[in-house]
Structure 1
């Protein structure tokens, strides 16, 4: 929130708006897990600050798209019991929360090709094997 307040850059604010919403999901999931384990309503036990994401235009649109209620399970074979914790109402607006199998839909992934500046100059991947082989022999 502090970084959001410190910048007027529209790209930074867009990213921060998304992160405020998604970070809220993770905080809510931790709270729901603690409530499931202890039976204690965490919002009554701890002085948790209430940050209303809908007050930020960049976050509001992600709220309207329902990103505040989705918890993504990237691997269908993992976390099979996630629905035991992530259920009920969203603390944001009371809408039902949802476990979604698979990653969220995003923008296009661009193939930017090879950029030599991203790698060590004059490095050839085939040389790595030779270097490792020499080091292995010296270590014997």
Structure 2
């Protein structure tokens, strides 16, 4: 079973809409090495896991990382939505002659023809989609689950390394604060997951570093990333185990495979940050609840509350 806390796993910085950055982030969501893929891959590996009780720490590690990836899908999808929300009013960068603004709102959705992914406006009503940056739908064929623990862990290590590399490239594509706050967080958490799978492989006697070294991206030069690294976020793994019965700590401990001088540790979950609901978008014909519906909901709720309290009407 899963529990959902109405909080984001990381705070999204406030900045103006940026539909081009939103489209770049789609690769980190629905691309071959994006968050939807990691979420599904680790959850399928944990669901299909086989072995006796001595192998439970490996299942728990996959379960914990996979559960965290659900929150990453939520985070990056929300970020894309915020970068798109109100983007028809985006006026572009005056210092960038290539950056086209959206006709000052004369045609409400004109910007959809100028930049970004037109499906963000045609299909998504200024929201995230399960696609990559080229608009290709996410595919379940991305998911790798061989049934062999060593092969799965090696593949997972490669997946996290490639994902982190891609996110470093996306970071270089935009200076939007909202986009960078999410990208930086995911870069650091990808490193934490690389550490997780590297430690698991070491416990199985696999000399992973000789064949598949963790790539040196020098991401600490990014200020948003450095802040998180200084907090040690790359060296902690969350179990998301409500009953605190996860045995992942048997694997995720000791010196970090990243050789950054930190020690690995586990925790149940981070504190999180408040979530907000996006406003209605009239130009997309995506309104909130109108007054009549709100009144009906309120009246229905009052009847249900009265019924629950044993009051007849």
TM-score normalised by L of structure 2 = 0.34
Deviation (angstroms), 1:42? 1.3
Structure 2 residue 271 is matched with structure 1 residue 105: yes
Compared CA separation, residues 15 and 114, structure 1 to 2 (3 A): closer
Alignment partner of 2:206 out of 6, 16, 40: 40
Find the counterpart in structure 1 of residue 177 from structure 2.
10
1:29 is aligned to 2:220: no
Q: Match for 2:226 among 47, 60, 72? A: 60
| Partner deviation per Cα, 1:85-109 (whole Å, 9 max, x = no partner) | 10111215121111112x2122234
- Runs of 4+ that moved beyond 3 A: 76-79, 112-119
Find the counterpart in structure 2 of residue 131 from structure 1.
none
- Superposed CA RMSD in Å reads 2.8
Give the C-alpha shift of residue 76 in structure 1. Answer: 4.4
| Matched residue, 2:287 | 117
Q: Is the 8 A contact 2:195 2:235 kept in 1?
A: no
**Cross-structure match for 1:89:** 255
CA distance in 2, matches of 1:5, 1:47: 23
Q: How does 1:59-78 map to 2 (within 5 A)?
A: 59-77=225-243
Q: Deviations over 1:52-90 (max 9, x none)?
A: 332211111011112111100111436632112101112
Cα distance per residue 1:4-57 (max 9 Å; x no partner): 1111112111111111001111122111112212x1231222244222332211
Q: Tell me the TM-score normalised to structure 1 length.
A: 0.70
Structure 2 spans left out of the alignment, 5+ residues: 1-167, 281-285, 298-313
Query: Which structure ranks higher in relative contact order (CA pairs < 8 Å, sequence separation ≥ 6)?
Result: 2
Q: Is the Cα–Cα contact under 8 Å of residues 68 and 92 in structure 1 kept in the other structure?
A: no
Rate the CA distance shift 1:51–1:113 in 2: closer, same or farther, 3 A.
closer
State the SS of the aligned residue for 2:274.
coil
Contact map agreement 1:52 1:92 (CA 8 A) in 2: no
User: How far 1:113 sits from its partner (Å)?
Assistant: 9.8
